[in-house]
Amino acid sequence: MLIYFVTMKLFRSRFSTNDASSWSTIRLLHTDSDYRYVQTCDIRAGIVASGYEHDNNNYRTIKIMRKRAAIAIFTIVIGVLIGLGAVAGLDTFLKYTSTLEFCSTTCHEMETVATEYLGSTHYKNNAGSRATCADCHVPRPLGAKLWHNMMGVREIYHTVMGTMDTRSKFEARRGQLAENEWRRLKETDSRECRACHSLDAMTITSQRDDARYWHSKAVEDGSTCMECHKGVVHQLPRPKKLGG
């Protein structure tokens, strides 16, 4: 208390103005969304007053910030939900279009190759293992799978135009279709084949003489599966006639 009155004396002796504003100061101590806590010091009268007063500017600013934050949070939540829905829908679509039922029954053009597949060892064998259409023809990496399905939209055109809706039309295009698939597998080092078959896992010494020879040569040369294993499931295209 003594220090306070000494301070008052010093200020009174230093300032001689009668302007009330020179003798009063306002110091902001605390603020919230609606009010601010202030302390008023009247040096001439030796009075220290404190209390809350309404802060309209701060209230409006906080209100605007809260509204913007709510809009931002709402937008993010809606975006996340839409993204999750899109991913779930895409995953369901990819799984459905990769099923054996879809490949063999949905498109009329696939009836010929579906019949060939059902009679192959990829469908039924002594080991009881089965490789479906998608296991051989649909890439497993997500990026390659999405690109493959995008390119598959071209088949809708052929379905609508009826370019392969009969056995004779399909046979006329079988060679080109086979070449396209063989080229794709060679470019990926027979990626889909190697998902089930691996030279490293083979007991080559226990194989037949011809298989042992060619698999040993493939290990040495780095050959890919599709260079030898054509026509394993589907019929080979008819050789082109010379001059035709």
DSSP string, 134-158: HHHHS-SSHHHHHHHHHHTTHHHHH
**Per-residue confidence (pLDDT) for residue 40, from 0 to 100:** 57
**Per-residue confidence (pLDDT) for residue 56, from 0 to 100:** 55
Q: In what order do the strands lie in the sheet with 35-42?
A: 24-31, 35-42, 47-54
For residue 69, the tally of other CB atoms under 10 A from its CB is 10
Q: What are 230-233's contacts with CB under 8 Å, separation 24+?
A: 230/178, 230/182, 232/120, 232/121, 232/122, 233/116, 233/117, 233/120, 233/122, 233/136
Express each pLDDT in 36-46 by its tens digit: 555 555 555 55
**Per-residue confidence (pLDDT) for residue 46, from 0 to 100:** 53
Burial class (CB in 10 A: 0-12, 13-18, 19+), 164: buried
**Per-residue confidence (pLDDT) for residue 98, from 0 to 100:** 84
**Per-residue confidence (pLDDT) for residue 58, from 0 to 100:** 61
Q: Which amino acid is at 91?
A: D
Give every residue of the chain whose pLDDT is below 50, as ranges: 1-33, 242-244
Task: Identify which of 190, 126, 113 has the alpha carbon closest to the alpha carbon of residue 155.
Answer: 113
**Per-residue confidence (pLDDT) for residue 181, from 0 to 100:** 92
